Each structure stands twice: as structure tokens, then as C-alpha cells.
Amino acid sequence: MLRRIFKWLLITVITFMVLSVLWVIAYRFIPVPGTPLMLIRNITEDIPVKHEWTPLEKIAPDMQLAVIAAEDSYFMQHSGFDWEQIEKAQADAKKGKKLRGASTISQQTAKNVFLWNGRSWLRKGLEAYFTMLIELLWNKERIMEVYLNSIEMGEGLYGVAAVAEANFNKRPDKLTRKECALIAATLPNPRKFSSKKPSKYIRKRQAAIIKNMKYIEKTNLHKKIKE
């Protein structure tokens, strides 16, 4: 009986790994049509989904820099995980400080595209697994392209094209530097914060992001995603 159980567990694990690798390889070349979060929001909350896949070259370059400045300054340097930020977040948690995210853009992409929201150990483990896969099988350009097309950016808005049209009435390649920073400022909680009607807090974050964008450019932390 134990041998049978072990055999089926082994088959299940191998099957999952093969299918997951094929899934990640497929998304290396084809547009991501949707994400689990889009489906969950649509079914459980009846929220219409606005999502339009847009190639990276048709998105304002400042949008790439803005999300790096806001979410993951060392995106171009790390291999999926920013261990320094993870250690700082853990240290802050032990001191009783407010919990803060330490997820990289790669981790957020893995979670958004392949998984569901949650804080279980299973989901975190799968997030780490898919993060390693996309870092191995995709390049940074593709990770950024998928991220900017799949991340939630407002109520029912997924991706830069959707938020640019809904909140600024323009195509994503026409977004200004300030607008890109404003969108990035809402990403910690795009359902609570709005880039269309920004609060004082979001305006303050926008200014900090613009400052960090300049710093990243000056110190060469940011290299062009696409030449």
C-alpha cells in the first residue's frame, strides 16, 4: 500500500512539474489571455474584466522604470528574489513593526499569472517554484512585459492598457512620466487607491517614486529592458 501511495505521489509530482514547465514555456511566446485573479473577481464579485494585451514596445518606457522604482529597485540585478529586502521585512516583523511586502516583480508575476491570492505555505511554495521557472525560462524583458499586462491596476482593470484608457483616456505609449509614477504609486492596493482620483497619500508616493526613478537612472541600477 505504501509503495502504491509513493508511486502515485511520484507520478503526480512529475506530471505537475512537466505540465508547469510546458505552461511557463508557452507563456514565454504567447500573450497571457487572463489570470486566476481575473476569473475569481469576475465570478465571485461579478466585476467586469478590462484587459488588453499590449507588447512592451507599445508601453511608455517610463512605465517600466516607475514600477521598478516603486516595487523592485534591483529587478535587473537579482535572480527572482531580493534576499536583502526579505531579511529586512523579517527583522521588522520581529520588532513588531507594520508588515511590508518584499516580493519582487518576478514573484508578483509568478503569483499573478499562475496562482491565486492567499498566504498559505502551499501558495508561497508554489510562488517560489514558478518564480524560479520564469527567471530560468524567460528573460527580464518578458517578465516585465507579462507583469505590466497582468497586474491589477484598479477595480476590474488589469494591465497598463486598461488603466491608461480608463483613467487617462489615452494609449499606454502616450503616458507621461508623472502618470506612470502615479499608476505605480497605487500598486500596493489598486482597489483602495486610485490613479484617476489620487489622494494626498498617493501624490506623496508619486513624488517619492519620481525621485527614486531619477536615482535609479543616475546610479545605473536600471538598464533598458529592451534595446
Domain region containing 209: 31-219
pLDDT digits 0-9 by tens, 10-25: 999 999 999 999 999 9
- How many domains does the chain fold into? 1
Choose among 78, 22, 11: nearest CA to 221: 78
Residue 3, domain member (yes or no)? no
As a whole number, mean pLDDT of residues 197-202 equals: 95
- Residue 95 pLDDT greater than 90, yes or no: no
Residue 17, domain member (yes or no)? no
pLDDT confidence of 1, banded at 50, 70, 90?
Answer: confident
Residue 202, domain member (yes or no)? yes
pLDDT at position 227: 43
Residue 12, domain member (yes or no)? no
What's the pTM value of the predicted model, to 2 decimals? 0.89
Residue 130, domain member (yes or no)? yes
Residue 153, domain member (yes or no)? yes
Q: Any residues with CB less than 8 A from the CB of 198 and at least 6 apart, and which?
A: 182, 185, 186, 206
Report which of residues 119 and 110 the model is more confident about.
Answer: 110
pLDDT digits 0-9 by tens, 146-185: 999 999 999 999 999 999 999 999 999 999 999 999 999 9
Alpha-carbon distances, residue 61 vs 47, 79, 199, 201 (angstroms): 30, 22, 25, 25
Q: What is the mean pLDDT of the chain?
A: 89
Residue 13, domain member (yes or no)? no
Q: Rounded to the nearest 5 degrees, what angle is found at the Cα of 42, between the Cα atoms of 192 and 19?
A: 110
Per the listing, cell 523592485 goes with: 72
Residue 198, domain member (yes or no)? yes
pLDDT confidence of 222, banded at 50, 70, 90?
Answer: low
- Domain of residue 82, CATH code: 1.10.3810.10
